Structures are given as C-alpha cells and as structure tokens.
Structure 1
C-alpha cells in the first residue's frame, strides 16, 4: 500500500505540471525530442542534461514501450574516473550498487531485487556486443569500460530480453566515443586526475572526423593504494576505432579493446573486525589479475530511406587469474609453526575464448497514412571456457601464480547459442502504438573434465553434461502519447540460463537433476514519462517481476544412509514495487529569465518488495532431514528502498552538484539471517546514507577542471557480504575521498 501511495502522489504532482503546459510547446534546449534517429552519436549532442529517454527507434533497435534511460557521461557530475556507479546512475531509479571495489574496475549493479554480483543479471554490452565472460554460462563482468571514454550509457530494463536475450534485469550498453562527435579532422584530449589514497589516472585520446571517416583512440592508466592496506591496483585500458564511410549508404568499422589490471585484495572482515576498524586488512597475499582483448567489425548499410541493417562480428579472449589465502576472516593467515612458513595459497585460472555475430534489420512501412517500424535480427554466439581451480600455490606473499602441483579442478565448458528475434511498432491512430515482439533461442551447453583428485591420486571426473534447450519468448508493449508525455506499458518474458556451476558437481557429494530447467519468468512495467517545457523531466512507474524455477541445492539421503546435495529447481520468487524519477528546475518554471544561473532538483527512488514464494529447503540434522520452505522470506541483497536526491547549480561556466544516497537494510542470505555469523559471511546488511559533492568549471571550450568529494561525512558502511572472492566476509565501502581532474582538448 505504501508504494501505491507514493506512486499516486508522484503521478498527481506530475499531472499538475502537465496540465499547466501550453498547447504550443517551445523547443527544449536541454533535451532532444527526436523520436527516430539512426546516428547514436547525435543523441543529445548539445545537451547539458545527464539523463534522457532513448528515442523510440535508435539505429536498428526499438525502445518504444520499454522502461529505459540514456546517460550522457560527459554531463555527469561525479567521479567518472573510478566508475562510481552510484553517482553515474543516480538518475536511473532503483539501481542497487555494490561498492566493494575502490578502483571501479568491476562494477556490480542490479535492480528489482536481483543480485548485483558483477552485474550478472544484466546483459552487458559495449557498442552492442557482449563483454562478459560468457552471457549464457558465466555472465560475470570482469571488464568495465573506462567511463572517460564512454559517450552514452543505454539502459533498457527487463523488457530488453526480447531484443538482447538473457537476463531478467535487461540490457546495459556502453556506447564508446568514436570521433563522429568531434567535427574536425584531428583532436587531442588529455585528462589528468589525482585523488585520495594515491589515486592517479591519466587519460589521453586522439580522434577526428572527415568526409570519408571518423576515428578515436585512447590509452588510460589508473593506479592507487586503496583505502585499506593490501588494496593497491594498476589498470590499463586501450581502445581504438575507425569507421570508413565507403559510400553514401555503406559504413565499415573496426574497433579493438585491450584491458588489463593487477590488484591486491585485502579480503573481508568479520562484524567484530569491522566494528573495531573497518579499514583494517588481514590478507596480504591475495592477488587478482585480468587480461581482456576484444575485436569487433561493424557494417551499417542504408538500403533506402526506409530500410537499413547492421552487422556486428565480434570476438573476445580473456583471462582471469587469482592467487590467495581464501579462508574466512576469523581465520588468520599466519606462519605455520610446523613449517615456519605461510600456508600454501590457492591458484585459480580461467580462460575465455568467445566469438559471435549479430545481424539487425529495420524497415519502416505504412498502413494507410500511419508509419510503422519492424526490427528483426539473428544472432550466433560461441563460447569456450577453460577453468582450472584449486591449484597449490607457493607460500610467498608477492604477486605470482607459481604452481607446485596440478590443478585439482580442470574443466572445459562450451556454449553454442542461436537466436532469431523481431519487434514491430504498430500505430493505431496518431497517439497510440502497440509493440509486439518475439524471440526464439536455442542454447547448447556442454561441460566435461576433472572436478578433483581422489585420495589415491585418480581423477574424479564429472559425467559429461550436455544440455540443449529451446525457448520461445514473447512480449508486447504499448505507448499512448499526451503532448510531450506518454503512458507506457510492457509485458515481456525472460529467462536466465543455467550456469556452468549448475552443470558441474563433485560426483561423490553432489548430484545434478537431469531434469534441471533454466529459470524463466516475466517483467511487467506500467508508467508515465515525459517532459514539460524545459523545467520538468519525469518517469513514474510500477513493476512486477516473476522469477520461476530458481536453481539451488537441497540435501538428500541415499538408500545406504549417506547424504548428498541435489542441485535442482527449488522454487519461485517475485518482486514488485515502484520506480520514480523527477527532475525539476524551479528557476525555469517560475522565471522567464535568470541572471543568477539555474538550479535543478532531482529525486530518484526505487521501492522493492522481493520475496520467495515456495522455495524448498532441506537441511540435515544428524541423521535426519528436515524440509521447510522460504515462503514470504525476503530475497537476499534486495533493499526495500533506494533513494537518491540532489541539487545541481549551473552558472555560465560552472556546474556543481550535491547528491544524497540512502539504501535501506537488506539480508545477505535467503534464510534472512539477522544476527551475523562468526565468519561475517551471513547477517544483516545495515542501511546507510552517503553524501557526494562534485563540480566542473570550464575556462574555455578547451580547458576545464573537475573535482569532488565522495562520502562527504565519512559514513562507515558496507554493501555486501562475500562468500568467496573478493572476500570472504564484509567488504568495506570507501571512506571519505576526493578527486581532482585537469582536462584539455586541442
């Protein structure tokens, strides 16, 4: 009921503003209203606003009827250098952020009660192609683009499943700078940033545009010591793209991305350790290393003024390496009295080798006098993951991956995916449109290899797992236009494929259900969004997310009395709530002209009620099994309230912002454990509130400075309890810190 009251109050407030709108709308110089636009680099080119809606048709993708956001990163007042997502996505309501990585190397975002673990409930893309390890078997994001180089961030919520495939969260696409926005043959850009805890970032780029081509390339290096001992990091990112305008209709592009980093991991804390000193560390021998290389070829062809297609061919080679002492934080990493050395570390290595292609076609056609749009496409993806774990590392403390014996686990995973999809904008009258859509997916996962060694030295192999599944997803959206606002609704089916971890289990202790199914469900959105002249931007909506066939492990007993873990579909969960964004300029609303600058207020609020339905739990107590359910238990990592508000002041060359963030308490496990366990792995995640300030001053179009203070009042908090990497235990969020950037363009 409280969500309904909040939603109705927001709707009434917006309705009052809309009724005051004049019949003949003046042009909004802050935001672009273009509905159909094929050049993504033109969206909001001259805008000063950081948040927009996506056009109904953008290139070869349909966004009409979907909950969506478009973030202009150059206009974000916040710490873009370290990819501070709570500041970057402040105006995307309901986005939960895990803040356990001070360098911003790996982001963790989610919404609507889904898990933020390396953003694996979103379909993450860069320029329209996959950037995760394997979107169908291991969809964790080890690579995040350096946001200095990102032109726009497109966010399509749950309904993105029809055009982009899994996951339940929708799609996040990082649109990189490509030179087409520069409007001259050559430009050199440099940004130098210094900050707290030894932070230094250097970003240097060249780019330009001619009649025949545009290009962009950058090199970025970021390093720092971190706020806790043993948390130093070094990150290198390189990128280059070139687009050739071969003919008036044909454009050919190529881009390459290199990313690598080395970081020391300070480990997690118990609750007692966190209370004593939340910035201490008890791990000095844990290291993490990533190497990522991606190549993409792009073809855009305009058949005629009504039809066009895009073809992307992409490949990725990535490596993930870790070495450390991974015991829970209540166990100290000390010198063994018997050997007079530290205990051996554990070495894990993953190798990802992926390739794919995606073809998209758009055609505009008329039925009577009304224009309609069809978007369709096909996709193929191949992924090969080699996973080597539980290797015996050395007893030293330095960065190395020395292996003293063979890996205990050596597995190979292969994914083949093919998909066909289509959506259609159908105009029914001048104001009302329907957007039906369908997607057909075929997935084949296979897994084989060694899970461990037996005590006699023989290999303990998994049974070769081969799973082929076919999905037919459907959905329908709608919009009804009221002036410069619109009512929108969407229902879309979604699914989440079983992961590699669901296909591999130790045969001596675990059994995989041979009838194991992928998680399936749907998203529903109903909302109202739009603009009123230059002073109001809003999006008010309610949602419902049904998540069926959740995968888990339950304890079972064999006929001989022995026990085993049975990995199967254990039940369902659902999330419902409201998401509200209102951005209001009282100066533009009440004054025709202002000589003292402009003030903009915003409120971005997400309300979540995520609960388990009939999830079955079987626990062992001695020699007996006890069955129970998690019915009505809160879903873990799902705070009920995520509220971000702020005020921005702009005057001539100065823009300054103050932002307030509040996130309510959440549970870290499905059993809703309140009292923390001794290891710090499970227990309540308390609510927290953080204030950030940031600003930009442009001396000229060429020279500017940026700066800010994050966590102004030095809030002591954490957003996650990790069960493994990068913990285990409580992962402390950053204390008060600052950044200062000097930038120039020539």
Structure 2
C-alpha cells in the first residue's frame, strides 16, 4: 500500500496507542495473569454508542477468532426514521454506502472493497433467516426492516461463511425487538417529521402474558424526496409471538410484510450534476417491492450442554418497475410527432422461496476442558419468474399495465436448490488460547428456461434450458488468545465462494451486455486483530485483513463488436483475480471519565473508525478505445494494477458525543476517498455517465436525543444530515434506478417525538 496518507494515519494511530499505553500502570495490568475464563469479555459502560463484541459463543453461533460487531440502533444518535446507515453503522470500519435512495428503503452497504449493491455480498438475514430474493441466484435485499424495530445489528465478517453461507462479505443479521419480559403490555410510538415532506410513524405493542411473549409493529413512512420526482410511500407490518411450552422448549411464529411505492428520479450526466445536482431527468419511473416473510422457530435447551434451534422460513415477494429506461443523454420528452411521451418499459419479478435450518450447539468435555461444537443443516429452494421489457403506458403514474401485444419481450424461470451442512469446533487449548477449525459443504443446483425476444412473426426465441450443479467444500481455521481479562488477539482464515447469479446473466432493466461464459468466483479471507476494552472508558478493535478474490465478476467498457467506430458498451464478465490488503481500526474513548472517576460528570465520547485499503486487479488483457471521433482506435491494455471499483483507499468516520443525564448530542464527520465505477479505471466519464471517477467526499451530521420523564418514557430526537450541504454522489448506475450519476441528498433535517407506556 503506497499512499502518503497511510504513513500519516499510521503515525496518528501509533501516537494514539502510545498515549493510551502510557497511562500509569496500564502496561502492568495488561500483562498481568488472566484469572477469568477466556469466553467472557467484561462489560463496559461507554455511553451506549460503542459496538459490543460478541462472546465466543452466541446462542448457536460461534464468533471466536473473527471480527464481529453488535450494534444497537436505539443507542445511536441517528436518523432512524430514514434508516440512515451512514450514522447507524458509523462505527464499523470501512463501511461503503451507496447513498442514492432518499426513502431509506434500499440499503446498499459493503465492507472490504466489495460491491454495496443492495448489500448482496453479505448473507443478509432477519432474526437468523433469509430475507433476500434468492440467497444464491439473486441475493439483493429489496426488503430492509425499519431501524426503530431493530434491537441489534450483527455483523460477522471474514469467516462467517462456514456457518451462514459462502459469501465473501460475511453475515449481516437484523435482530428485531421482542416484547418486554416484565410487562403484560407496553406501547411505543415514535413520530418524525422532516425536510421535503418527510413523515414517519412507528407504532408498536409488546409484552409477556404468562408463557407468551409477543411484539408487533406498524410503520408508515412517506416523503417527496430531496430531488424532484422522488416521492415515496412505505408501509411495514411485523408480528412475532413466542410460547414457552416448557422451561426448555419455546415455539415461535413471525411474519413481516412490506409494501412500498418509490419514484425514481433517474441519473444525471456529469455536466448535469455540475449544473444542478438536484435536478431530475426522469419523472415517470417507479419501483415497488411487496415483500412477505413468514417464519416458524423452535428453540430447545436439551440440557445444560445442548442447545437446538430450528427455523423454517418462506418468501412471497415481487419486484415491479415501470419507466423510461433509455441510457443518457436521451431525454424523456414529449414527441413532436405524437404529442405524447414514449411508452415506458415494464419489468416484473416474482419470488417464491422456502427454507429450513437446523443448528445445534453441544458442549463437550475433553482432556479436562469444555469445548463447544456448533453444527447445522440447511435445505432451501427458491424460484424466480422474471418478465422483462414489456411495453407499458405513456403515462406518468405507477401503472404496470401492458399495451401493444400485451406480452413481455423476455421471460425466464429460474430455480435454486441448496442443501448444506457445517460444523465448527471451539477447542479451548488452555486458559487463554482457543482454536476453531470448521468445514462447510454446499450443494447447489440452478436451472433456467425461457426466451429472449421474439422473431418477426411473433414466435419466441427460446434459449436452451440450463442446469448446473455444484458441490462446494469450504474450510477455515480461527484462533483467539486472551492477553488480559478484557483484551484478546484473534486470527482467522476462511474460504469463500460466489456463484454466477442469474442476476448476472439476465439483470433487471440494465444496459449491460453479459458475457455468456461467466464463471463462479472463489477465494479466501485471512485476518488478524487485537481488540478489547480498558476499564469503563475505552473500547477498541484494530486488525489487518487480506482478501483474495478469483474470477471476480464486474463491468468493463469495451468496443461494440461489429459496431460503428467509437461505439462502446458495458460488458459484464469475469475480471480475473483481485487482491485487497486492508487495515481496519476502531476506538471509542470517554475523554472525561478517562481522567477522573467522578461518575457525576457528563460523558464526552470520541470515536473513530478507519479503513485503509489497497484493492487491485491482477493480470487481465482487455481491449479499449482511445481517441475521439474519426481518430478513435482499438488498443490492447491490461487491468493489472488497476484499482477495484467501489473500494475507497481511505474511509474515516469519526464523531464526538456529549451525554449527560437524558441528553445526548453527537456530531459526526465522514470522509470517503475517490473510487472508480469500473475495472478499467475510467477517468473521463462518457456521455452515458455510467463509468468514470466517483470523487472523494466529506459529510457532517449532527443529531441529538433527549429522554425525560419517569423511566425515560418521553423521547425527543432531531438533527441535521449533511450539515454543510455537500454535493456529492456515491454511485454511477448502469440501469435502475439510473442510469447515470445518482446524487446523494443535500442538507436535510428531522425532528421526532417518542412515547413508551
């Protein structure tokens, strides 16, 4: 990693670490003998904002030896009404966020230089079960729960694939709230208003009656959006009930339902963004994703040493869009000849999934120590019906009616069948040392059939039926060494796998051209780190990782085969090997309480989350165009040494929180370095604006919460996002919701009132 920023930041981190270690007696305390079992980390009382590190065994999940974060959104000063993950997950180093959806419904995040596209490099789950369209065929998370309903967010990176799936990104799990154990009925309401007509109302009821625990919520959110033609309406309903049949056996049932209608203002060219980043080029584009997730759960404590969990889950959902999707700079205007708009394009997906997972944790006595075996089985089947390029109406509202011949140009049916088994063993090799080897086996079968276009006589141009089978064996090894009662060293190596998605083969409403010979991507992640806490005022996690990604799937811009001179296209293909070296560092320090033990003083917490990446391509010859006009010519180049797209070399989020009694105020600063939108590292964007540089940007947020009344039953919240009205963008889109540059929101405000009874 050869960037002048690196030694500068390394010096700052070294100075910070030296200042901490220099505290009187600290070095002696850190080197003192361990007198506690290494499975437990002591609790800290940093003012509710720091992420917690999971215990080595969390329910039926092993986390020992790998980087993990547990974050409670309710304890973070943030715009929860709009799911502002830039704030909620600010303490996660290296978090890349595509900020192009002012509704807050589409969450696009990644870490470690992976693609943020609808969080698809993560294994995204809710309460431990799948919530994406198809975990292996089309893992895009169109559904995301409201942050007001989330008890905590679990991020398990690196070696998470052995227990939850083969994804490079690891696990992203939203754990929803349950009813309180000490009340029969508790009612919660939170209502927020804000810029551009924002209104959000979250209402919940929960409690425990006898052996029955229940919780249900309804959330409604609407607004006009920061840009024109950006209105949204979102409604969420969820209910969960858990019945303790015995002291050891609990049965549960859950259901989540989302319905939304999002207007998409479209992308901009670079010239349009420079002229007015708030303008909209498309007024007739809409997206709707009704999403229904039912689930049944069973938790059984067979004994003091055995715990069993079974989750059965389903999905009934759709992705529906209508709009004018021609690439830029084509305008969406009224035709002089017909005196009306062009007919829009209609695209529809239907998803029907069913799955079940059994997970077992067993404590085993061996050689005088207690070890923990975590194992599991998974069965899963997903079906997708994809219909594309139907001729819609010439209107402007959300209307999926087909006109013309009433048929779709493309129709496909896809199925994914997955069976998996995993086992990990937490071996406690001593009072301080643990080793966790693991294996995972996945069987995948994908099938596809359908047609692509129609002949002149109207007959279907059917594609040959496709079927593929894969038997994938993954393995990994983690280790953890307790240096002190509250600090440990950890290291992990884990294999990962990303199959070719049918979303790669037939993407929804995109201008990309697909390589018919796409191959699966494979690789591994290795990491090492040092984490822990000191007293009640410091929490930290500093680590290094290496990610090796073989046959990475991405986009390059190339000449159109057989096209006219200067004509290019976006080509989705395997881009060879990428390797990412990264430093991830997080620390949170209570400044005042580190200097005095006076608990009556306010808290003044300083946090910083830093990521330094060097993500580059290996050897891959490609053809490109140089020159302009009649002087354009094809030249051979090589991607070797190019930066991986969407992998910022520096990401820094830092903030300061003042907290006293019921008042808490947080100021947060975010810096994300320049990235490229394509593997060719295009500097000068073409007229379509789909490739090119995404410049570095800085954003400042200010939020506050005031809890008052008996048991803090009243809650006032508010803030300003993007305080200095920075104009920036984080994404160049090749299709929906673009194409082109998708601007992030400028300055907005929010204010809310909550009540719990």
TM class by shorter chain equals over 0.9
Aligned to 1:200: 199
Out of 156-165 and 437-446, give the one that drifted further. Answer: 156-165
Alpha-carbon separation, structure 1, partners of 2:128 and 2:300: 16
User: 1:517 Cα shift?
Assistant: 3.4
Matched, 1:654 2:663: yes
Out of 223-232 and 495-504, give the one that drifted further. Answer: 495-504
User: 1:624 Cα shift?
Assistant: 10
Aligned to 1:423: 424
Out of 603-612 and 677-686, give the one that drifted further. Answer: 677-686
SS in structure 2 of the partner of residue 197 of structure 1: helix
Aligned to 2:679: 670
Aligned to 1:374: 373
SS in structure 1 of the partner of residue 290 of structure 2: strand
User: 1:556 Cα shift?
Assistant: 11
Alpha-carbon separation, structure 1, partners of 2:311 and 2:7: 43
User: 1:431 Cα shift?
Assistant: 0.5
Matched, 1:132 2:143: no
1:450-472 CA distances to partner (integer Å, 9 max, x unpaired)? 11112332211111110100111
Alpha-carbon separation, structure 2, partners of 1:439 and 1:8: 41
Aligned to 1:520: 522
Aligned to 1:122: 122
Aligned to 1:587: 592
Matched, 1:739 2:750: yes
The answer for unaligned runs of 5 or more in structure 1 is 26-32, 38-42
Matched, 1:572 2:571: no
Counterpart among 592, 612, 618 of residue 613 in structure 1:
618
Aligned to 2:271: 272
Out of 106-115 and 588-597, give the one that drifted further. Answer: 588-597
Aligned to 1:246: 245
Aligned to 1:686: 695
Alpha-carbon separation, structure 2, partners of 1:707 and 1:442: 49
Alpha-carbon separation, structure 2, partners of 1:298 and 1:5: 51
Aligned to 1:40: none
Q: Cα 1:83–1:34, aligned 2, differ >3 Å: closer, same or farther? A: farther
Is contact 1:18–1:532 with CA below 8 Å preserved after alignment?
no
Alpha-carbon separation, structure 2, partners of 1:635 and 1:164: 26
Alignment of 1:291-310 (within 5 A): 291-310=290-309
Alpha-carbon separation, structure 2, partners of 1:347 and 1:266: 16
SS in structure 1 of the partner of residue 118 of structure 2: helix
Alpha-carbon separation, structure 1, partners of 2:68 and 2:249: 29
Alignment of 1:71-470 (within 5 A): 71-179=71-179, 181-404=180-403, 405-470=406-471
Is contact 1:81–1:147 with CA below 8 Å preserved after alignment?
yes
1:201-255 CA distances to partner (integer Å, 9 max, x unpaired)? 0111000024412110000000000011100000000000000000011000000
Q: Cα 1:510–1:196, aligned 2, differ >3 Å: closer, same or farther? A: closer
Is contact 2:50–2:588 with CA below 8 Å preserved after alignment?
no
Residues paired across the two proteins, number: 726
User: 1:699 Cα shift?
Assistant: 1.1
Is contact 1:182–1:207 with CA below 8 Å preserved after alignment?
no
Matched, 1:638 2:647: yes
Alpha-carbon separation, structure 2, partners of 1:361 and 1:268: 48
Counterpart among 719, 722, 725 of residue 708 in structure 1:
719
Alpha-carbon separation, structure 2, partners of 1:44 and 1:457: 69
Matched, 1:546 2:548: yes
Alpha-carbon separation, structure 1, partners of 2:738 and 2:560: 29
User: 1:165 Cα shift?
Assistant: 0.8
Alpha-carbon separation, structure 2, partners of 1:688 and 1:502: 30
1:416-445 CA distances to partner (integer Å, 9 max, x unpaired)? 001000111111111111111110011001
Is contact 1:384–1:414 with CA below 8 Å preserved after alignment?
yes
Aligned to 1:489: 491
SS in structure 2 of the partner of residue 335 of structure 1: coil
Q: Cα 1:15–1:440, aligned 2, differ >3 Å: closer, same or farther? A: farther
Q: Cα 1:555–1:415, aligned 2, differ >3 Å: closer, same or farther? A: farther
Alpha-carbon separation, structure 1, partners of 2:463 and 2:100: 34
1:297-334 CA distances to partner (integer Å, 9 max, x unpaired)? 00000110011110000000011100000123421111
Is contact 1:606–1:641 with CA below 8 Å preserved after alignment?
yes
1:283-310 CA distances to partner (integer Å, 9 max, x unpaired)? 1111111100000000000110011110
Q: Cα 1:81–1:504, aligned 2, differ >3 Å: closer, same or farther? A: closer
Out of 625-634 and 494-503, give the one that drifted further. Answer: 625-634
Alpha-carbon separation, structure 2, partners of 1:584 and 1:549: 42
Q: Cα 1:462–1:626, aligned 2, differ >3 Å: closer, same or farther? A: farther
Alpha-carbon separation, structure 1, partners of 2:515 and 2:438: 38
Coordinate RMSD, CA, aligned: 2.7
Alpha-carbon separation, structure 1, partners of 2:11 and 2:490: 16
SS in structure 1 of the partner of residue 160 of structure 2: helix
Is contact 2:603–2:660 with CA below 8 Å preserved after alignment?
yes
Is contact 2:655–2:666 with CA below 8 Å preserved after alignment?
yes
1:360-416 CA distances to partner (integer Å, 9 max, x unpaired)? 000112223322111000101100000000000111112211101300000000000
1:476-495 CA distances to partner (integer Å, 9 max, x unpaired)? 01111011100010010001
Alignment of 1:18-57 (within 5 A): 20-21=25-26, 35=39, 48-57=48-57
Alpha-carbon separation, structure 2, partners of 1:270 and 1:311: 50
Out of 196-205 and 181-190, give the one that drifted further. Answer: 181-190
User: 1:45 Cα shift?
Assistant: 12
Q: Cα 1:638–1:359, aligned 2, differ >3 Å: closer, same or farther? A: same
Is contact 1:511–1:565 with CA below 8 Å preserved after alignment?
no
Alpha-carbon separation, structure 2, partners of 1:585 and 1:614: 47
Q: Cα 1:579–1:564, aligned 2, differ >3 Å: closer, same or farther? A: closer
User: 1:512 Cα shift?
Assistant: 2.7
SS in structure 1 of the partner of residue 540 of structure 2: strand
Q: Cα 1:135–1:72, aligned 2, differ >3 Å: closer, same or farther? A: same
Q: Cα 1:182–1:716, aligned 2, differ >3 Å: closer, same or farther? A: farther
SS in structure 1 of the partner of residue 197 of structure 2: coil
User: 1:679 Cα shift?
Assistant: 2.0
Counterpart among 722, 725, 730 of residue 719 in structure 1:
730
Is contact 1:269–1:329 with CA below 8 Å preserved after alignment?
yes
1:613-667 CA distances to partner (integer Å, 9 max, x unpaired)? 1234245899998654211111111111110010001111111100000011111
SS in structure 2 of the partner of residue 464 of structure 1: strand
SS in structure 1 of the partner of residue 271 of structure 2: helix
Is contact 2:44–2:533 with CA below 8 Å preserved after alignment?
no
Aligned to 2:34: none
Q: Cα 1:128–1:494, aligned 2, differ >3 Å: closer, same or farther? A: same
Is contact 2:505–2:514 with CA below 8 Å preserved after alignment?
no
SS in structure 2 of the partner of residue 408 of structure 1: strand
Alpha-carbon separation, structure 1, partners of 2:515 and 2:11: 49
Q: Cα 1:597–1:501, aligned 2, differ >3 Å: closer, same or farther? A: closer
Q: Cα 1:152–1:471, aligned 2, differ >3 Å: closer, same or farther? A: same
Is contact 1:11–1:540 with CA below 8 Å preserved after alignment?
no
